Amino acid sequence: MNKRTQVGIIGAGPAGLLLALLLAREGIDSIVLEKRSRKDVEATIRAGVLEQGTVDLLIEMGLGERMQREGSVHHGIELRFDGVGHRIPLTELTNGHAITLYPQHEVLKDLVAARLGQGGELLFNVEHAQLFDVNSSQPRIHYTHEHETVELQCDFIAGCDGFHGVSRTALPQSISTIFTRSYPFGWLGILMQAPPSADELIYAYSERGFSLVSTRSPELQRMYIQCDPHDHIARWSDEMILEELQARLTTIDPWQLRIGPIIQKSILAMRSFVIEPMQYGRLFLAGDAAHIVPPTGAKGLNLAVADVRHLAHALTAFYQKQRNDLLEAYSATCLRRVWRAEHFSWWMTSMLHRFPDDDPFQQRMQRAQLDYTVRSRAAAISLAENYIGLPLDW
The residues carrying an active-site annotation are 74, 203, 295, 299, 387
- 104 makes contact, choosing from ligand RFL, ligand PHB, none, with CB < 5 to 8 Å by partner type, with ligand RFL
Q: Contact, 87 vs 78, CB < 8 A? A: yes
The DSSP line for 3-56 is: EEEEEEEE--SHHHHHHHHHHHHTT--EEEE-SS-HHHHHH-----EE-HHHHH
Q: How far is the CB of 237 from ligand RFL (least distance, A)?
A: 21
Angle at 286 between CA 285 and CA 287, to 5 degrees: 135
Q: Does 337 bind ligand RFL (CB under 6 A)?
A: no
Q: Which one of residues 74, 80, 168, 222 is an interface residue with ligand PHB (CB under 6 A)?
A: 222
How far apart are the C-alpha atoms of 190 and 151, rounded to whole Å? 42
Q: Contact, 394 vs 340, CB < 8 A? A: yes
Q: Does 345 bind ligand PHB (CB under 6 A)?
A: no
Residue 142 has, within 13 A of its CA and on its CB side, a CA count of 6
Number of residues that bind ligand RFL (CB under 6 A): 35
Q: Contact, 320 vs 26, CB < 8 A? A: yes
Q: Does 35 bind ligand RFL (CB under 6 A)?
A: yes
Q: Does 295 bind ligand PHB (CB under 6 A)?
A: yes
Q: How far is the CB of 168 from ligand RFL (least distance, A)?
A: 10
φ and ψ at residue 358, rounded to 5 degrees: -65, 135
Between residues 52 and 316, which has the closer beta carbon with respect to ligand PHB?
A: 52
Q: Does 298 bind ligand PHB (CB under 6 A)?
A: yes
Q: Does 48 bind ligand PHB (CB under 6 A)?
A: yes
How does strand 262-276 pair with strand 177-193? antiparallel
Q: Does 296 bind ligand RFL (CB under 6 A)?
A: no
Q: Does 386 bind ligand PHB (CB under 6 A)?
A: no
How far apart are the C-alpha atoms of 198 and 213, rounded to whole Å? 8
Q: Does 48 bind ligand RFL (CB under 6 A)?
A: yes
Residue 367 CA, chain-centre distance (Å), reads 28
Q: How far is the CB of 95 from ligand PHB (least distance, A)?
A: 22
User: For residues 142-201, which are near ligand RFL according to CB under 6 A?
Assistant: 160-162, 165-166, 189
Between residues 99 and 131, which has the closer beta carbon with respect to ligand PHB?
A: 99
Q: Contact, 44 vs 105, CB < 8 A? A: yes
Q: Which one of residues 67, 88, 114, 301 is an interface residue with ligand RFL (CB under 6 A)?
A: 301
Q: Does 288 bind ligand RFL (CB under 6 A)?
A: yes
φ and ψ at residue 13, rounded to 5 degrees: -90, -165
Number of residues that bind ligand PHB (CB under 6 A): 9
Which spans of this chain sit near ligand PHB (rule: CB under 6 A)? Answer: 47-49, 201, 214, 222, 295-296, 298
